[in-house]
Structure 1
């Protein structure tokens, strides 16, 4: 049996522990039910739950949700359209999101799947400074997929366009 401040109160019966908890206006909580004898603790359970949820919220606040974005291209994409897609992928990677690049084939275009793989490799080379290629290009049906993951240590930008650490300095 542990007290409110984690001090040892010794081994006692359940009835005696309940009586002690009632006298101190505290809750009797079983901490380690598998040990012999089971370990119980006197605490204010409502306050304990409140502090736990508060800690969980703080932990969530520090995490960045990494989303999976998909960018679709065609094998006959024009040069300007290709460059616009690459800029879009780069922005998403800098925002900390994973990007799935997909080449879509129509009809008999799938016979020239090597064109799609060339485009994916070109994208991977151009974005090598901000991304890591996760796996090889995979052919699923009439589409070829490639996963790009942001490089660790790359500057993650917030919605305002400033790096996260610069925004924290300027209130």
Structure 2
């Protein structure tokens, strides 16, 4: 809240050059801000009494937006990539999909490995579990198993995350 939007009777005032003015009535604080051609900004509304600062609000908002933009630019968004295997996967197909798993892990993404059981394959869920455990064993040097293979409906799912 800025200037006339502040509803408190008195505020703890911080001047434009960060000096403390103590607790002053809101009218006096607004007058001091107007004399300096600046805004009165409520920086701690929950305090008793609220803390207000005399500053250029437009410049303050611009600086905050710049900081937020910089923080967003530096953060790494971890995505979950999915690689689907089948219970009856052949060796070459397995190696190709394993290469994709390793690529995703090296890029810093989590990988969801799943085996989809079709028809009566569900009765041999242990075959799908062996496929997923083999993936985990092949990639163990660069990943941690975040979630062990677990049957969910007609799929068995395992989640791998890159080592820090």
Please indicate, yes or no, whether the TM-score normalized by the shorter chain is above 0.5. yes
Q: How many residues align?
A: 152
Unaligned residue ranges in structure 1 (runs of 5+): 153-171
Does the residue aligned with 1:90 lie in a helix, a strand or coil?
helix
Show the counterpart of 2:14: 2
Show the counterpart of 2:65: 53
Show the counterpart of 1:108: 120
The structure 1 segments of at least 4 consecutive aligned residues displaced by more than 3 Å after TM superposition are none
Does the residue aligned with 1:9 lie in a helix, a strand or coil?
strand
Unaligned residue ranges in structure 2 (runs of 5+): 1-12
- Partner Cα separation in structure 2 for residue 68 and residue 16 of structure 1: 56
If you compute each CA radius of gyration, which structure gives the higher value, 1 or 2?
2
Q: Does 1:94 align with 2:106?
A: yes
How far 1:123 moved relative to its partner? 0.4
Cα deviations across residues 137-163 of structure 1 (Å, max 9, x unaligned)? Answer: 1111110000000111xxxxxxxxxxx
Q: Does 1:129 align with 2:114?
A: no
Show the counterpart of 1:85: 97
- Partner Cα separation in structure 1 for residue 103 and residue 17 of structure 2: 51
- Partner Cα separation in structure 2 for residue 35 and residue 97 of structure 1: 42
Does the residue aligned with 1:133 lie in a helix, a strand or coil?
strand
Show the counterpart of 1:15: 27
